[in-house]
Amino acid sequence: MPLCCPPPLGGVAGTCFKHEHLPAILGEPPQRGFFEVHAENYMGAGGPPHHALERLRRDHALSLHGVCMSIGGPSPVDRDHLARFRALVARYQPTLVSEHLAWSTHATSFFNDLLPLPYTAATLARVCDHVDEVQEAIRRPILLENPATYVTFADSTISETDFLRSVSQRTGCGLLLDVNNVFVSATNHGFAALDYLNDFPLAMVGEIHLAGHAEQRDDDGDVLLIDSHDGPVADAVWKLFELVIARSGPLPTLVEWDSNIPEWQVLKAEAAAAQRILDRAAEGTRHAA
């Protein structure tokens, strides 16, 4: 079964798709932007989730975002899970397909969180094997997302940006740059988000993520940011996003909001704010040309 890719999205902003928003979305003309769904939520055989996604998909481009492939884990990719993922790609023909540089399954247990990995030559080789396997199964490249992390590994010998660059170069995958994750990790580990972004291979980025985060304190009273997706995008993250877009040019950009989910109009306004930044950048590119 050939899996074809719909045309590229360009610099449009989208939001995650929440079922409670469907009546409001369908009550308006089709959005200019796209919608993103977590693949695992549509891995049931049938029922209301597929019905809702089919209705949304009729008039909107889709981004399929896998959360549980455990690409960053030492264990082999779960073949059943990969088959389900492939079936979703074939059924819904998403414009974008992405997964995480993280793991969530070990031995027989699924932990339902994006867990971190050390960055070494051995883990790099293993991650590349897993990305190859996924891309061969779905017969198209994926975008791999940079994680938000709270700890580091003493064993790491490669920087995260070099690790992601190498995965992209070796496997042909693109990257999903989550700007909120950059800000969260930078704060948590005490590095400059701008330095990370300067090192990030922007030419390989196929999608941007923006989201809200929460603030806690660690044992020493230092700020510890949590990638909570439960509120509006922070001002500092908007500023970083503008800097990224000024350098990369307009890219498909998604606003994530996964708990304490607001009314559709609130989420839509967040996407509109991203769209204004993308449109300004597109305007600037045209004037410079």
Partner 1 sequence: MQPDASFDYAGAFAAGLLVPGAAAPAGVTGPGGRPAGRRYDVYRNNVTVSLLNALAAIYPAVQRITGEAFFREMARSHLRQTPPTSPLLFAYGRDFPSFIEIYPHAAELPWLADVARIERAWLDAYHAADAAPLSPAALSMIPPDRLAEAIFIPHPSTRLVRSTFAAVTIFAANRTTEHTGRIDASTAEDALVVRPEFDVEVRRLPLGGAIFVAGLIAGRPLGEAAAHAFAADPRFDLAANIAGLIEAGAFTSVTSGHP
Among 24, 26, 83, 121, binds partner 1 (CB under 8 A): 121
Among 95, 123, 253, 275, binds partner 1 (CB under 8 A): 123
* 273 in contact with partner 1 (CB under 8 A): no
Among 93, 118, 170, 261, binds partner 1 (CB under 8 A): 118
In the bound complex, what is the minimum distance in angstroms from residue 153's beta carbon to partner 1? 6
* 27 in contact with partner 1 (CB under 8 A): no
Q: Closer CB to partner 1, residue 38 or residue 140? A: 38
In the bound complex, what is the minimum distance in angstroms from residue 169's beta carbon to partner 1? 18
Number of residues that bind partner 1 (CB under 8 A): 57
What angle separates helix 179-189 from helix 235-248, to the nearest 10 degrees?
Answer: 120
Of 267, 221, 254, nearest to 33 (Cα)?
A: 254
Structure tokens at 193: 């988000």
> Would you say 226 and 188 are in contact if contact means Cβ atoms under 8 Å apart?
no
Burial letters 242-257, b for 16+ CB under 10 A, else e:
bebbeebebbbbbbbb
> Would you say 106 and 75 are in contact if contact means Cβ atoms under 8 Å apart?
yes
State the burial class of residue 132 (Cβ atoms within 10 Å of its Cβ: 0-12, 13-18, 19+): middle
Q: Closer CB to partner 1, residue 112 or residue 169? A: 112
* 26 in contact with partner 1 (CB under 8 A): no
* 3 in contact with partner 1 (CB under 8 A): no
Backbone angles phi, psi at 217, to 5 degrees: -125, 145
- Please give the C-alpha separations between residue 277 and each of 2, 12, 109, 240, 287, in angstroms, as whole numbers: 36, 10, 42, 11, 15
Q: Closer CB to partner 1, residue 80 or residue 235? A: 80
Strands 109-115 and 103-106 come out as: antiparallel
* 43 in contact with partner 1 (CB under 8 A): yes
The owner of tokens 């989910």 is 261
Rounded to whole angstroms, the Cα distance separating 132 from 135 reads 5
Among 40, 199, 242, 279, binds partner 1 (CB under 8 A): 40
Of 247, 242, 254, nearest to 278 (Cα)?
A: 242
* 44 in contact with partner 1 (CB under 8 A): yes
According to DSSP, residue 71 is labeled T
- Please give the C-alpha separations between residue 134 and each of 46, 78, 79, 81, in angstroms, as whole numbers: 24, 10, 10, 10
Among 78, 133, 230, 242, binds partner 1 (CB under 8 A): 78
* 58 in contact with partner 1 (CB under 8 A): no
Residues 164-223 that bind partner 1 (CB under 8 A): 188-190, 216-220, 222
Q: Closer CB to partner 1, residue 187 or residue 275? A: 187
In the bound complex, what is the minimum distance in angstroms from residue 265's beta carbon to partner 1? 25
Which 3 state secondary structure label does DSSP give 186? helix
Q: Closer CB to partner 1, residue 19 or residue 280? A: 19
Site string for partner 1, 81-110 (x = CB under 8 A): x---------------------xxxxxxxx
Residues in touch with partner 1 (CB under 8 A): 40-41, 43-51, 67-68, 70, 73-75, 78, 81, 103-113, 115-118, 120-123, 125-126, 150-155, 188-190, 216-220, 222, 224, 226
